[in-house]
Structure 1
Amino acid sequence: MQAQLMLTCLCDAFFGEVGIATVKVLEHAGCRVVFPEGQTCCGQPPYNSGNWDAAKEVARRAAQVFRPDLPVVTPSASCAAMVRKGWAALGVDAPRCLELSEYLLHHLGVKSWPQKGSRVAPRRRVAFHVACHGRELGLGDGPQRLVSMIPGVEWAQFSESETCCGFGGVFSAEHPATSRGMGLHKLESLNAAKPDLVVTTDMGCALHLMTLQAQDGPSLRFLHYAQLLAEVIDR
């Protein structure tokens, strides 16, 4: 099977290791990854700001990069939601776009991880931040199911796992005080759970919480769940 990788702006600018992990995970699961050159932003920032003319222009340019006959896979529920729902609202034809866990579970049929071989994995307490756009896409517990397949994972349950972190893209710029308060509330709940690391589907959430904790609290380690999956692949 083949799929096109949509890297996302945050991965391109700050978290290249998430893109590398995503490719490693997809290839391990039997997918040939195609990376279309010339990728741009999906248009979500102007879309969420209400500048739909600019969002439509950006979305049209992004759509031209991808082949219509191959699915697009992205390690971001936020960008997948924009392509699937935002582009439709803008009248832009979108390729079939899937968040990584959707593709692994429902198209590649992953039922265990790793598929073959395994590095020795230490026991780790993992907390999972449920990103808001994951609910919008109806991901359910798909990403958590994948993480649960990894040897040595123990869940660090916390009461605010499904509470918004306060990022919300442009929301954090337009309402910084509210955004900060929401993020600090999330960090308080996370710290109480005492995880070894925090995983999520969206690095925008992780970036927001990482920035806040650098200013106000103890250091938690944040990863995309693809990085955790990639760590135990024996190659």
Structure 2
Amino acid sequence: MDEQQGSSALNQPIYLNIADQIRTEIKTGDLLPGDRLPAESKLATRFGVARMTIRHALEMLQFEGLIDRRRGRGGGTFIMNEPPEIELTRVEGILPQLREQHISVESTVLNSELQSAPAHVSQALELKAGAQVFNIVRMRRINGIPALLENSYFPAVLFPGLLEVDLTKSLYELLENFSHRPISKIEEIITSRANIAEKQLMGVNHSLLLLRITRTARDESRAVVEYSEDLLRSDCIRIQVKTPER
């Protein structure tokens, strides 16, 4: 397959055509979860293109959560199970939604401390400069794969003793025990590549695009009760946005 011809024939880059073909093979069952794809060099020979073109196609499929690219011994490119879907419009967050789908999630607290709020955090939480906040950093793993890195801040004055409870649970459920249950939130989502530290934590290479989710949540009194900067692997969790009927 000539790359220029393939691109002009369907009026799109050839790597998109290749991704479409592999995606179709997954949907039709020709490729099953756990199957290992041939090496990039063999795929390049099959499609008659350069390895870089194959790499672009695989990066797209990984971003969609259809394949998992593993390094090291026993590594390779594998077909993944369909990733779970979560609704971004639901206030309670990701963990309760995964539990509803009977998905096992392993939670690890990486850091929990009382600190003076950085300037952008105090502004987001509508606090005075340098106000005390709880900073809680947690990793959520699905099937052993780091899927979500949560970096959350909470006003210390609203949640005395927060660091003394089990922080591996859904924080929204914990906040309800303090009579400050979030009832609304605003989230901003951008795509980004991981920095060096994030690559190690999330187990990804530089090519995989991650979703950075910035969130502020308010309780019934309209007080801001949480500010969070999360990092989500789009190949592990899919996001849905639903709008109510009018």
Q: TM-score under structure 2 normalisation?
A: 0.22
Bigger relative contact order (CA 8 A; separation at least 6): 1
Question: Which protein has the larger Cα radius of gyration, Structure 1 or Structure 2?
Answer: 2
> Comparing both structures, which one devotes a greater share of its residues to strand?
2
TM-score by length of 1: 0.23
